[in-house]
Amino acid sequence: MPTVSDVARAAGVSRQTVSNVLNSPEIVREETRTRVAAAIAELGYRPHASARRLRTRRASTIAVRLDPFAGGISGAVLDRFLHALTERAEARGLSVMLYTAKDAADEIRQFQRLVDGAAVDAFVLASTYDGDPRTEWLIEHGQPFVTFGRPWGIADLDDPLHFWVDVDGRAGVAEAVRRLRGSGARTIGFLGWPAGSGTGDERRAGWAAGVAEGDREGGVVTEGPRAEPARLSAESEESVAAARAATRRLLAQASDLDALVAVSDTLALGALIETGGSLPVVGFDNTPVAEAIGFSSIDQRVDEVAAAALELLELVGRSEAGDPRSHRLITPEVIMRPPGPALGLVG
Protein backbone atom coordinates (compact mmCIF):
# COMPACT_ATOMS: atom_id res chain seq x y z
CA MET A 1 0.00 0.00 0.00
CA PRO A 2 1.23 3.48 -0.84
CA THR A 3 1.84 5.91 2.02
CA VAL A 4 1.70 9.66 2.28
CA SER A 5 5.37 9.77 1.36
CA ASP A 6 4.70 7.96 -1.90
CA VAL A 7 1.93 10.34 -2.74
CA ALA A 8 4.08 13.33 -1.82
CA ARG A 9 6.87 12.13 -4.06
CA ALA A 10 4.50 11.47 -6.95
CA ALA A 11 2.90 14.88 -6.60
CA GLY A 12 6.17 16.67 -5.97
CA VAL A 13 5.16 18.08 -2.59
CA SER A 14 5.97 17.32 1.03
CA ARG A 15 4.27 14.68 3.10
CA GLN A 16 2.69 17.34 5.20
CA THR A 17 0.97 18.93 2.25
CA VAL A 18 -0.61 15.61 1.43
CA SER A 19 -1.81 15.36 4.97
CA ASN A 20 -3.26 18.85 4.70
CA VAL A 21 -5.08 18.03 1.50
CA LEU A 22 -6.76 15.22 3.34
CA ASN A 23 -7.52 16.89 6.63
CA SER A 24 -7.80 20.61 5.99
CA PRO A 25 -8.05 21.04 2.23
CA GLU A 26 -9.06 24.69 2.56
CA ILE A 27 -5.57 25.76 3.55
CA VAL A 28 -3.98 24.29 0.44
CA ARG A 29 -3.78 26.16 -2.82
CA GLU A 30 -6.28 24.93 -5.40
CA GLU A 31 -3.70 23.88 -7.93
CA THR A 32 -1.61 21.94 -5.46
CA ARG A 33 -4.69 20.29 -4.13
CA THR A 34 -5.78 18.91 -7.48
CA ARG A 35 -2.26 17.71 -8.21
CA VAL A 36 -2.17 15.85 -4.92
CA ALA A 37 -5.66 14.49 -5.44
CA ALA A 38 -4.58 13.14 -8.81
CA ALA A 39 -1.59 11.39 -7.27
CA ILE A 40 -3.82 9.91 -4.58
CA ALA A 41 -6.22 8.57 -7.16
CA GLU A 42 -3.46 7.23 -9.37
CA LEU A 43 -1.62 5.38 -6.63
CA GLY A 44 -4.85 4.24 -5.00
CA TYR A 45 -3.71 5.69 -1.72
CA ARG A 46 -5.90 5.17 1.36
CA PRO A 47 -5.05 6.62 4.75
CA HIS A 48 -4.01 4.06 7.30
CA ALA A 49 -6.56 4.20 10.07
CA SER A 50 -4.32 2.76 12.77
CA ALA A 51 -1.54 5.19 12.12
CA ARG A 52 -3.90 8.09 12.18
CA ARG A 53 -5.39 6.91 15.42
CA LEU A 54 -2.06 6.61 17.06
CA ARG A 55 -1.14 10.09 16.04
CA THR A 56 -4.41 11.88 16.71
CA ARG A 57 -5.37 9.82 19.71
CA ARG A 58 -8.84 9.52 18.34
CA ALA A 59 -10.44 6.34 17.18
CA SER A 60 -13.46 7.80 15.38
CA THR A 61 -15.27 4.82 16.76
CA ILE A 62 -18.23 4.58 19.05
CA ALA A 63 -18.94 1.59 21.19
CA VAL A 64 -22.35 0.07 21.63
CA ARG A 65 -23.24 -2.67 24.00
CA LEU A 66 -25.07 -5.61 22.57
CA ASP A 67 -27.06 -7.30 25.29
CA PRO A 68 -27.04 -11.09 25.44
CA PHE A 69 -30.33 -11.19 23.58
CA ALA A 70 -33.07 -10.80 26.11
CA GLY A 71 -35.50 -12.48 23.78
CA GLY A 72 -39.06 -11.36 23.69
CA ILE A 73 -40.81 -9.68 20.88
CA SER A 74 -39.69 -6.20 21.75
CA GLY A 75 -36.02 -6.98 22.14
CA ALA A 76 -35.78 -6.16 18.49
CA VAL A 77 -36.05 -2.43 19.08
CA LEU A 78 -32.47 -2.16 20.18
CA ASP A 79 -31.39 -4.09 17.16
CA ARG A 80 -33.25 -1.72 14.91
CA PHE A 81 -31.63 1.17 16.70
CA LEU A 82 -28.26 -0.42 16.09
CA HIS A 83 -28.94 -0.71 12.39
CA ALA A 84 -29.92 2.92 12.19
CA LEU A 85 -26.96 4.03 14.26
CA THR A 86 -24.49 2.16 12.10
CA GLU A 87 -25.83 3.72 8.97
CA ARG A 88 -25.82 7.22 10.34
CA ALA A 89 -22.42 6.84 11.91
CA GLU A 90 -20.87 5.72 8.68
CA ALA A 91 -22.13 8.83 6.97
CA ARG A 92 -20.24 10.85 9.56
CA GLY A 93 -17.05 8.88 9.19
CA LEU A 94 -17.53 7.00 12.42
CA SER A 95 -17.36 3.29 13.00
CA VAL A 96 -19.45 1.29 15.41
CA MET A 97 -17.82 -1.31 17.59
CA LEU A 98 -19.70 -3.80 19.72
CA TYR A 99 -19.07 -5.17 23.16
CA THR A 100 -21.01 -7.27 25.60
CA ALA A 101 -21.31 -7.24 29.36
CA LYS A 102 -22.99 -9.38 31.97
CA ASP A 103 -23.84 -6.55 34.33
CA ALA A 104 -23.04 -2.95 35.13
CA ALA A 105 -19.76 -3.75 36.89
CA ASP A 106 -18.66 -5.85 33.98
CA GLU A 107 -19.63 -3.08 31.62
CA ILE A 108 -17.51 -0.61 33.50
CA ARG A 109 -14.56 -2.96 33.13
CA GLN A 110 -15.24 -2.90 29.42
CA PHE A 111 -15.23 0.90 29.46
CA GLN A 112 -11.78 0.76 31.01
CA ARG A 113 -10.51 -1.64 28.43
CA LEU A 114 -11.89 0.24 25.46
CA VAL A 115 -10.88 3.67 26.70
CA ASP A 116 -7.40 2.75 27.84
CA GLY A 117 -6.70 0.95 24.62
CA ALA A 118 -7.92 4.02 22.75
CA ALA A 119 -10.11 1.68 20.75
CA VAL A 120 -13.11 3.91 21.09
CA ASP A 121 -13.86 7.51 21.86
CA ALA A 122 -17.52 7.60 22.68
CA PHE A 123 -20.22 5.38 24.04
CA VAL A 124 -23.87 4.95 23.27
CA LEU A 125 -25.80 3.33 26.09
CA ALA A 126 -29.28 1.96 26.03
CA SER A 127 -31.66 1.00 28.82
CA THR A 128 -30.57 3.39 31.50
CA TYR A 129 -32.08 3.26 34.94
CA ASP A 130 -32.20 5.34 38.09
CA GLY A 131 -28.78 5.62 39.73
CA ASP A 132 -27.09 3.91 36.81
CA PRO A 133 -23.42 3.50 37.83
CA ARG A 134 -22.35 3.41 34.22
CA THR A 135 -23.20 7.01 33.48
CA GLU A 136 -21.58 8.05 36.72
CA TRP A 137 -18.37 6.34 35.74
CA LEU A 138 -18.37 7.87 32.29
CA ILE A 139 -18.98 11.36 33.59
CA GLU A 140 -16.31 10.95 36.24
CA HIS A 141 -13.78 9.81 33.67
CA GLY A 142 -14.70 12.46 31.15
CA GLN A 143 -15.77 9.99 28.52
CA PRO A 144 -18.19 11.28 25.93
CA PHE A 145 -21.43 9.36 25.84
CA VAL A 146 -25.08 9.56 24.92
CA THR A 147 -27.82 7.42 26.29
CA PHE A 148 -30.88 6.18 24.44
CA GLY A 149 -33.25 6.57 27.35
CA ARG A 150 -33.49 9.46 29.74
CA PRO A 151 -31.89 9.25 33.17
CA TRP A 152 -34.65 8.23 35.51
CA GLY A 153 -33.37 10.04 38.56
CA ILE A 154 -35.31 13.28 38.80
CA ALA A 155 -32.30 15.43 39.55
CA ASP A 156 -30.42 14.06 36.55
CA LEU A 157 -32.95 14.99 33.93
CA ASP A 158 -31.32 18.33 33.32
CA ASP A 159 -27.79 17.35 34.12
CA PRO A 160 -25.86 19.13 31.38
CA LEU A 161 -23.21 16.41 31.55
CA HIS A 162 -25.65 13.68 30.73
CA PHE A 163 -26.55 13.74 27.07
CA TRP A 164 -29.59 11.73 26.26
CA VAL A 165 -32.16 11.01 23.60
CA ASP A 166 -35.44 9.40 24.37
CA VAL A 167 -38.77 8.63 22.82
CA ASP A 168 -41.74 10.49 24.22
CA GLY A 169 -43.88 7.51 25.13
CA ARG A 170 -46.38 9.71 26.88
CA ALA A 171 -47.05 11.77 23.77
CA GLY A 172 -47.17 8.65 21.63
CA VAL A 173 -49.77 6.89 23.72
CA ALA A 174 -51.85 10.04 24.12
CA GLU A 175 -51.88 10.37 20.36
CA ALA A 176 -52.91 6.73 19.97
CA VAL A 177 -55.85 7.35 22.30
CA ARG A 178 -56.79 10.34 20.18
CA ARG A 179 -56.64 8.29 17.01
CA LEU A 180 -58.75 5.53 18.49
CA ARG A 181 -61.32 8.07 19.59
CA GLY A 182 -61.22 9.53 16.12
CA SER A 183 -62.30 6.22 14.70
CA GLY A 184 -65.20 5.93 17.07
CA ALA A 185 -63.92 4.34 20.26
CA ARG A 186 -65.30 5.90 23.44
CA THR A 187 -64.05 3.77 26.30
CA ILE A 188 -60.38 3.07 25.87
CA GLY A 189 -58.47 0.81 28.25
CA PHE A 190 -54.80 0.39 29.02
CA LEU A 191 -52.71 -2.70 29.46
CA GLY A 192 -49.46 -1.77 31.17
CA TRP A 193 -46.49 -3.04 33.09
CA PRO A 194 -46.53 -2.95 36.88
CA ALA A 195 -45.82 0.57 38.13
CA GLY A 196 -42.18 1.40 38.75
CA SER A 197 -40.62 1.16 35.33
CA GLY A 198 -40.02 4.69 34.16
CA THR A 199 -40.86 3.87 30.58
CA GLY A 200 -44.06 2.04 31.42
CA ASP A 201 -45.24 4.75 33.80
CA GLU A 202 -44.75 7.40 31.13
CA ARG A 203 -46.83 5.45 28.67
CA ARG A 204 -49.59 4.94 31.20
CA ALA A 205 -49.55 8.66 31.95
CA GLY A 206 -49.98 9.32 28.24
CA TRP A 207 -53.03 7.10 28.17
CA ALA A 208 -54.53 8.79 31.23
CA ALA A 209 -53.92 12.20 29.67
CA GLY A 210 -55.50 11.11 26.41
CA VAL A 211 -58.56 9.78 28.17
CA ALA A 212 -58.95 12.92 30.29
CA GLU A 213 -58.64 15.04 27.19
CA GLY A 214 -61.42 13.08 25.51
CA ASP A 215 -63.61 13.45 28.54
CA ARG A 216 -63.15 17.21 28.52
CA GLU A 217 -64.02 17.42 24.88
CA GLY A 218 -67.01 15.18 25.35
CA GLY A 219 -68.23 17.43 28.18
CA VAL A 220 -67.78 14.74 30.80
CA VAL A 221 -67.24 16.03 34.33
CA THR A 222 -63.85 15.29 35.80
CA GLU A 223 -65.33 13.14 38.55
CA GLY A 224 -67.26 10.90 36.18
CA PRO A 225 -66.46 7.24 35.86
CA ARG A 226 -64.66 7.57 32.54
CA ALA A 227 -62.46 10.25 34.01
CA GLU A 228 -61.34 7.81 36.70
CA PRO A 229 -59.16 5.53 34.66
CA ALA A 230 -58.23 2.93 37.28
CA ARG A 231 -61.11 0.71 36.28
CA LEU A 232 -59.94 0.76 32.67
CA SER A 233 -56.37 -0.22 33.30
CA ALA A 234 -54.63 -3.50 34.14
CA GLU A 235 -51.08 -4.57 34.80
CA SER A 236 -49.20 -7.45 33.30
CA GLU A 237 -45.73 -8.88 33.03
CA GLU A 238 -44.11 -8.79 29.63
CA SER A 239 -45.47 -12.07 28.30
CA VAL A 240 -48.33 -13.12 26.08
CA ALA A 241 -49.79 -15.47 28.65
CA ALA A 242 -49.79 -12.83 31.38
CA ALA A 243 -51.29 -10.34 28.98
CA ARG A 244 -54.15 -12.70 28.21
CA ALA A 245 -54.93 -13.07 31.88
CA ALA A 246 -54.75 -9.31 32.41
CA THR A 247 -57.07 -8.77 29.49
CA ARG A 248 -59.59 -11.16 31.03
CA ARG A 249 -59.46 -9.22 34.29
CA LEU A 250 -59.83 -5.97 32.45
CA LEU A 251 -62.86 -7.13 30.50
CA ALA A 252 -64.44 -8.39 33.69
CA GLN A 253 -64.18 -5.00 35.36
CA ALA A 254 -64.97 -2.97 32.25
CA SER A 255 -67.23 -4.79 29.86
CA ASP A 256 -67.91 -1.55 28.02
CA LEU A 257 -64.39 -1.36 26.56
CA ASP A 258 -64.21 -0.17 22.95
CA ALA A 259 -60.49 -0.32 22.43
CA LEU A 260 -57.18 -0.99 24.14
CA VAL A 261 -53.74 0.53 24.18
CA ALA A 262 -50.94 -1.73 25.36
CA VAL A 263 -47.53 -0.78 26.67
CA SER A 264 -45.84 -3.22 24.29
CA ASP A 265 -46.55 -5.36 21.26
CA THR A 266 -46.22 -8.46 23.40
CA LEU A 267 -49.08 -7.35 25.61
CA ALA A 268 -51.03 -6.17 22.59
CA LEU A 269 -50.70 -9.61 21.06
CA GLY A 270 -51.97 -11.21 24.24
CA ALA A 271 -54.96 -8.89 24.24
CA LEU A 272 -55.69 -9.66 20.61
CA ILE A 273 -55.58 -13.37 21.14
CA GLU A 274 -57.78 -13.13 24.19
CA THR A 275 -60.37 -10.92 22.54
CA GLY A 276 -60.20 -12.81 19.28
CA GLY A 277 -59.59 -9.54 17.50
CA SER A 278 -62.96 -8.10 18.41
CA LEU A 279 -61.45 -4.94 19.86
CA PRO A 280 -58.98 -2.59 18.21
CA VAL A 281 -55.66 -2.80 20.04
CA VAL A 282 -52.66 -0.52 19.70
CA GLY A 283 -49.29 -1.89 20.74
CA PHE A 284 -45.91 -0.25 21.22
CA ASP A 285 -42.68 -0.66 19.25
CA ASN A 286 -44.17 -1.52 15.89
CA THR A 287 -42.34 -4.83 15.87
CA PRO A 288 -42.37 -7.22 12.94
CA VAL A 289 -45.15 -9.14 14.66
CA ALA A 290 -47.44 -6.15 14.60
CA GLU A 291 -46.69 -5.75 10.95
CA ALA A 292 -47.13 -9.45 10.19
CA ILE A 293 -50.40 -9.84 12.03
CA GLY A 294 -51.56 -6.42 11.09
CA PHE A 295 -52.35 -4.66 14.33
CA SER A 296 -51.70 -1.01 15.12
CA SER A 297 -48.63 0.02 17.02
CA ILE A 298 -46.52 2.97 18.05
CA ASP A 299 -43.20 3.22 16.28
CA GLN A 300 -40.22 4.55 18.21
CA ARG A 301 -38.58 6.02 15.11
CA VAL A 302 -35.20 4.66 15.97
CA ASP A 303 -33.82 6.33 12.92
CA GLU A 304 -34.49 9.76 14.38
CA VAL A 305 -33.13 8.59 17.69
CA ALA A 306 -29.91 7.46 16.07
CA ALA A 307 -29.50 10.72 14.20
CA ALA A 308 -30.11 12.73 17.35
CA ALA A 309 -27.69 10.61 19.34
CA LEU A 310 -24.89 11.31 16.90
CA GLU A 311 -25.68 15.00 16.85
CA LEU A 312 -25.53 15.12 20.62
CA LEU A 313 -22.20 13.32 20.63
CA GLU A 314 -20.77 16.23 18.73
CA LEU A 315 -21.92 18.63 21.41
CA VAL A 316 -20.58 16.67 24.35
CA GLY A 317 -18.25 18.77 26.42
CA ARG A 318 -19.33 21.98 24.74
CA SER A 319 -22.59 22.27 26.61
CA GLU A 320 -23.31 24.75 29.38
CA ALA A 321 -25.38 24.02 32.48
CA GLY A 322 -29.06 23.92 31.62
CA ASP A 323 -28.38 23.79 27.94
CA PRO A 324 -31.49 22.23 26.43
CA ARG A 325 -29.38 20.90 23.62
CA SER A 326 -28.01 18.23 25.89
CA HIS A 327 -31.11 16.16 25.43
CA ARG A 328 -33.68 15.38 22.81
CA LEU A 329 -37.16 13.93 23.03
CA ILE A 330 -38.38 12.21 19.89
CA THR A 331 -42.10 11.96 19.23
CA PRO A 332 -43.02 8.46 18.14
CA GLU A 333 -45.36 7.73 15.28
CA VAL A 334 -48.69 5.99 15.68
CA ILE A 335 -49.13 3.41 12.94
CA MET A 336 -52.82 2.59 12.58
CA ARG A 337 -53.67 -0.62 10.77
CA PRO A 338 -57.18 -1.62 9.79
CA PRO A 339 -58.48 -3.97 12.46
CA GLY A 340 -60.46 -7.18 12.26
CA PRO A 341 -60.20 -8.85 8.86
CA ALA A 342 -56.44 -8.48 8.52
CA LEU A 343 -56.03 -10.22 11.81
CA GLY A 344 -58.10 -13.19 10.83
CA LEU A 345 -58.44 -14.43 14.35
CA VAL A 346 -62.19 -14.01 14.44
CA GLY A 347 -63.45 -15.26 11.10
Mask: binding to DNA, 35-54, rule CB under 7 A, as x and -?
----------xxxx--xx-x
Q: Is 34 one of the binding residues for DNA (CB under 7 A)?
A: no
Contacts of 325 (CB under 8 A, 6+ apart): 312, 315, 319
Q: Is 12 one of the binding residues for DNA (CB under 7 A)?
A: yes
Minimum Å distance from CB 307 to a copy of itself?
A: 15
Helix (H) or strand (E) holding 167: strand 163-167
Rounded distance between C-alpha atoms, residue 162 and residue 105, angstroms: 19
Q: How many CB atoms lie within 10 A of CB 341?
A: 10
Minimum Å distance from CB 66 to a copy of itself?
A: 5
Rounded distance between C-alpha atoms, residue 143 and residue 116, angstroms: 11
Using the minimum distance from each CB to DNA, give the nearer residue, 12 or 225.
12
Rounded distance between C-alpha atoms, residue 149 and residue 127, angstroms: 6
Which partner, DNA, a copy of itself, none, binds residue 22 by CB below 5 to 8 Å per kind? Answer: DNA
Mask: binding to DNA, 284-303, rule CB under 7 A, as x and -?
--------------------
Minimum Å distance from CB 277 to DNA?
A: 60
Using the minimum distance from each CB to DNA, give the nearer residue, 36 or 240.
36
Question: What are 274-277's contacts with CB under 8 Å, separation 24+?
Answer: 274/243, 274/244, 274/247, 274/248, 275/247, 275/251, 276/345, 276/346, 277/339, 277/340, 277/343, 277/344, 277/345, 277/346
Q: Indicate if the alpha-carbon torsion angle 22, 23, 29, 30 is positive or negative.
A: positive
Using CB under 7 A, which residues numbered 56 to 95 contact DNA?
A: 56
User: Which residues of this protein are in contact with a copy of itself, per CB under 8 A?
Assistant: 1, 46-51, 53-54, 57, 59, 61, 66-69, 71-73, 75-76, 79-80, 82-84, 86-87, 90, 95-100, 112-113, 116-119, 239-240, 244, 266, 269, 273-274, 288-289, 291-294, 343-345
Residue 47's region, left for phi above 0, alpha for psi from -120 to 50, else beta, is beta
Using the minimum distance from each CB to a copy of itself, give the nearer residue, 174 or 240.
240
Which partner, DNA, a copy of itself, none, binds residue 3 by CB below 5 to 8 Å per kind? Answer: DNA
Residue 184's region, left for phi above 0, alpha for psi from -120 to 50, else beta, is left
Count of residues that interact with DNA, criterion CB under 7 A: 31
Q: Is 29 one of the binding residues for DNA (CB under 7 A)?
A: yes
Using the minimum distance from each CB to a copy of itself, give the nearer residue, 185 or 289.
289
DSSP-assigned states of every residue in 91-132? HTT-EEEEE--SSHHHHHHHHHHHHHTT--SEEEEES--TT-
Minimum Å distance from CB 318 to DNA?
A: 18
Which partner, DNA, a copy of itself, none, binds residue 43 by CB below 5 to 8 Å per kind? Answer: none
Contact of 7 with 39, CB cutoff 8 Å: yes
- Residues lying near DNA in the complex (CB under 7 A): 1, 3-5, 12-17, 19-20, 22-23, 26-33, 45-48, 51-52, 54-56
